[in-house]
Amino acid sequence: MKNGKLLFGFLMIGLLASSCYTEVIVEDDIFVDTPINTALVLENYDLWYVDINATKGNGEVPFLQRAFTISFDRGIVYANNNLVGIGKTGNGLGIDVGAYATLGGDVEINHDVDGLWRLEVYRVNNNTLELYDARSNTSYILRGFQRSTFDYDAVFYDNIHYFLQEYEVWEKTFTSEYGAINEFDEENYLQFFVDNGGYFRSSVDAQGIPLSTIQWDYEGDYVVYDVANDTTLKTLTLDYDFLGNDYFELYVINDSTIELYHVASETVYEFTGRGYMQYLKSNDGSGKKRSKTQNPTMNVTRQRNM
């Protein structure tokens, strides 16, 4: 009888030990798989569009705040920080801005200028990620695309107000022969700033002069509008202080030329960008940073016959 009790006791101890040992193995397997999955998730898409309007929190991660897209490719981080050249620079990925490594459910990014950042990675759905910075309690939403299907034009038009600011000056290089005479005929230079929501200056100085010698004659506020039911058309108003408004349809010819159609006079003007400002890795405070914006919408119809 005693031998039977001893044997039963040994069996129970063996079962308990086996049960505990199995539980530890399961926990270890989950932990080991995590960093591999994190890397695969980040590298699953060529481009991650930074949906700046979906950002949560009051802080910022500087290199994400600056980027239109970010990419993770075999340890290298790439970013498209400019609209000029987007789709062409770095075969569409942009410029090399740093290195990364995955650690558990996190990605550690060593940015060339902004330094070391450890961000938590969460997969929202198959093509959406959340990168969370615990230091600033800020989340960025990234939407994944492959280069072959990424609509660079849509990104361009959705962020066109930034494009206007990527050149120091826009110089008038063409005026159509048709169209009524108007005061804007005399203006040869435009300059756009983000200050106070949208501030511009214009000049009637002669074309072709050095940028540093331009004398600015007029200033005021500008607004870029979306157009209801027309995603490829933007409109622009220049609100001159004390001098009234000019209203244009805004078209992009290429990444250095815009076309302004002056609706009131039916005159077409072309402006070419001078003094391209490439936002590479600058941290001197002068570099562009994106912010939550939503263009107001106009209920108008396209007036120019294309």
DSSP-assigned states of every residue in 185-254: GG--EEEEE-GGG-EEEEE-PPTT--GGGPPP-EEEEEEEEEETTEEEEEEEEEEETTTEEEEEEEEEEE
| Spatial separation of the C-alpha atoms in residues 121 and 74, rounded to whole Å | 17
Instruction: Evaluate the CA torsion angle 60, 115, 94, 146 in order and state its sign.
Output: negative
Tens of pLDDT, residues 233-265: 999 999 997 677 999 999 999 989 999 999 999
Report percent pLDDT > 70 for the chain.
84
Q: Residue 137 contacts by C-beta under 8 Å, 6 or more apart in sequence?
A: 57, 58, 59
Q: Is residue 282 over pLDDT 70? A: no
| Spatial separation of the C-alpha atoms in residues 28 and 30, rounded to whole Å | 6
Tens of pLDDT, residues 6-27: 333 433 434 333 333 333 333 3
Q: Is residue 279 over pLDDT 60? A: yes
Q: How many CB atoms lie within 10 A of CB 198?
A: 21
| pLDDT class of 302 with cuts at 50, 70, 90 | very high
| Spatial separation of the C-alpha atoms in residues 164 and 67, rounded to whole Å | 16
- What pLDDT was estimated at residue 232? 84
Instruction: Evaluate the CA torsion angle 214, 218, 223, 228 in order and state its sign.
Output: negative
